[in-house]
Structure 1
């Protein structure tokens, strides 16, 4: 794989010339246990100097994962729903926290997710809620601050800083996986063009540049191309104007 990075180099040169800040963060979904793929993710995070927000499925998280994460500062656990179970009717997009079941049941699940990860990871976890498939009903989002969550993370540039009173929206913006097709890497040229477009929108004021720019990965399903592109992209951003963002601990 040898994509043409020149369009991104040109865009990043604009950021340098204008001395614009670019906070970047990394989220990786669906962790439940230590695996060789998680080893590779952790090693890459260390190499890049960019921590990974590890979205852990609370119901299935193992004590072994807690021990693994505790020994690696590059892995930052956050709450990935409850069971990663689809409750949407047949034919609709998958979701665990949309209004396909009673709101009070979803609140109980989100509360259980927080409690389970706190018991497993202690102070290492962050009070970030990542709904499976990046979908959540606004009615459910409004309940999250009452449960102790400070951040909601889905996908695409946020429309406003707060998803609900007391709940900051920190989304992901680029996912390199072709989920609807090969489930391998999307065309690198297309991903580079998408990145350039997203950064240009931020630089020119069409989207919020105070929102950390998020890269989303899924270590358990990566092939060689996805690993290589992710590393190359993050290297490009971090060697340019980008600085690493990490979710703060609750005080």
Structure 2
């Protein structure tokens, strides 16, 4: 069944009539190497003229990925933890950067992640820290600026623009994958309603429209339904009030 996009289209029309701009960004997690799925992500990004921040896992990341990024400026690398390894005890939610280990070991991995990806990507790398599974202890967040990070990114609307001095929070707000069920696309009408409600809250001042609205994807596990929905959603946003947000480079002012 074809989704009914009219609720979102009506909301986007309200934005345009009000002369509002939606800052929009795209984050895609778990890049390690060049794959057909990454090629497809890149082509979609270029077709939409919508850059995608790829969260790269530092420990297993391959040089070929850096070579691809050098050729394809639509791909913007950021740091995705260290090894995407779960350290939580059995029965707890998966996490790599919660306080399940000594703090020095945790901070060492966060520091190594930034250093290794700077070696791989050079100035193309943005110093954004994306903790695997979107989970990170507040005590670790406090240390990120001292390690060289300027942005932390998890999920759901941020509580504060700067969780600590010198560090911005730029989260994601919509993940189309049914992780706990089919691992395919969630009910598209539910997703359309979610986006529509979130944008309505921003338009009416109940939510922070200074925070870029984030779409989260995972190219390695997409099926045809996820690819199709992602393209349809981003196309509508880009044809409406959305303007791409791109994290600036180290040498540029954030």
TM-score by length of 2: 0.98
The 3-state SS of whatever aligns with 1:162 is coil
Q: Tell me the secondary structure at the aligned position of residue 163 of structure 2.
A: strand
- 2:31 maps to 31
- 2:8 equivalent to 1:5: no
Tell me the CA shift for residue 17 of structure 1: 1.1
Which residue does 2:185 correspond to in 1? Answer: 185
Aligned to 2:17: 17
Instruction: Determine the C-alpha separation between the residues in 1 that align with 2:104 and 2:2.
Output: 50
Residue by residue over 1:199-232, the C-alpha shift from the partner in whole angstroms, topping out at 9 and shown as x without a partner, is: 1111111211000000000000000000000000
Which ranges of structure 1 fall in alignment gaps of 5 or more residues? none
Q: Which runs of 5+ in 2 are unaligned?
A: none
Paired position in structure 2 for 1:210: 210
1:143-176 C-alpha deviation (Å, 9 max, x unpaired): 0000110000000001110121110000000000
Partner of 2:73: 73
SS in 1 for 2:53: strand
- Secondary structure of the residue that 2:30 maps to in structure 1? strand
Q: Distance in 2 between matches of 1:164 and 1:130?
A: 16
Give the deviation of 1:100 after TM superposition: 0.9
State the aligned residue count: 251
Q: TM-score, normalised by structure 1?
A: 0.99
Secondary structure of the corresponding residue to residue 60 of structure 1:
coil
